[in-house]
């Protein structure tokens, strides 16, 4: 589990440990993830701490090997690490843009690339959870780089689900609203609370994974915003005709045929 030293990641870890799971906590902050592992270990959990920069491709295989050497075969991958910074797109530097995608998207792809082959080779049941955001289902002004990267996380999760439908590997995408973390708690006021409790979110996530849910939102209050966007897309499709010529791939997809395989 990445981004496991605090916040949602630690909340999910606590919920998994409470169910008897053995958990590898990975985070770029070695001191904090060691402290988190000590906390869960003192509570009776079987855990190991691993310092990991999720954007470093050459670190992933070693981290996976260390986790499995300590705890046995991994069957749940939680790609939770993420970064966010506030800036309108007109003031976003390319360095900041790349940082959001390197951590929020590349990290999830790299984790999946390392663990998914192991899941498939072993067979049986496994689960991949990617943490996206409500900002991956609707536009959020002021954090454009973050929102764009979370849309990519949702897209990655959607593609994974389709590609893994005939396997024992399930996919979920967590789309939280505001969740109380160290940063949000420090800025909280009576008028603007810190957000959802991270431990309660962790419990919700584990319950949803057990139930086989794909999209896992934390705040139903966002439904009007998300629905508005989807209605706009649906209306645009209804207002468009095939004046440019039909798309044969649509009929293939409706018939259960992968159009990419047909073209290759």
What's the burial of 210, exposed, middle or buried (CB within 10 Å: 0-12/13-18/19+)?
exposed
- Classify 6 as helix, strand or coil: coil
Nearest to 84 by CA among 136, 4, 143: 143
Report whether 216 contacts 26 (CB < 8 A): no
* Separation of alpha carbons 173 and 64, rounded Å: 21
Report whether 128 contacts 172 (CB < 8 A): yes
DSSP-assigned beta bridge partners for residue 25: 49
Residue with tokens 């906590």: 25
DSSP-assigned beta bridge partners for residue 47: 23
Nearest to 230 by CA among 174, 143, 154: 154
CA gyration radius, the chain: 20
* Separation of alpha carbons 44 and 38, rounded Å: 10
Q: Where are the alpha helices (DSSP H) in the chain?
A: 7-18, 30-42, 57-71, 94-101, 107-122, 144-163, 182-186, 198-210, 223-238, 248-254, 259-263
Residue with tokens 């897309």: 233
230 part of the active site: no
DSSP-assigned beta bridge partners for residue 23: 47
- 107-122 vs 144-163: helix crossing angle, rounded to 10: 10
Catalytic residue among 133, 146, 201, 204: 146
Residues marked active site are found at 146
């Amino acid at each position: 589990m990445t981004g496991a030293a605090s916040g949602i990641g630690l909340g999910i870890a606590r919920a998994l440990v409470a169910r008897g799971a053995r958990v590898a906590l990975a985070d770029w902050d070695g001191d904090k993830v060691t402290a988190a592992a000590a906390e869960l270990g003192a509570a009776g959990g079987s855990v190991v701490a691993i310092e990991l920069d999720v954007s470093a491709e050459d670190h992933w295989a070693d981290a996976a090997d260390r986790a499995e050497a300590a705890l046995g075969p991994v069957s749940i991958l939680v790609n939770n690490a993420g970064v966010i910074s506030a800036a309108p797109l007109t003031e976003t530097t390319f360095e900041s843009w790349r940082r959001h995608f390197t951590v929020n998207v590349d990290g999830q792809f790299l984790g999946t690339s390392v663990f998914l082959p192991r899941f498939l080779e072993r067979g049986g049941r496994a689960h991949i959870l990617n943490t996206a955001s409500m900002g991956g289902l609707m536009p959020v002004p002021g954090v454009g780089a973050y929102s764009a990267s979370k849309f990519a996380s949702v897209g990655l999760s959607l593609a994974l689900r389709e590609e893994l439908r005939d396997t024992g590997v399930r996919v979920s995408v967590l789309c939280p609203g505001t969740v109380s973390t160290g940063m949000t708690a420090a800025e909280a006021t009576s008028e603007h609370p810190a957000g959802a409790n991270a431990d309660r979110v962790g419990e919700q996530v584990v319950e949803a994974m057990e139930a086989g849910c794909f999209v896992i939102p934390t705040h139903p209050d966002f439904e009007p915003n998300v629905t508005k966007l989807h209605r706009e897309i649906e209306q645009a499709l209804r207002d468009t005709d095939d004046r440019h010529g039909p798309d044969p791939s649509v009929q293939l997809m409706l018939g259960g045929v992968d159009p990419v395989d047909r073209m290759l």
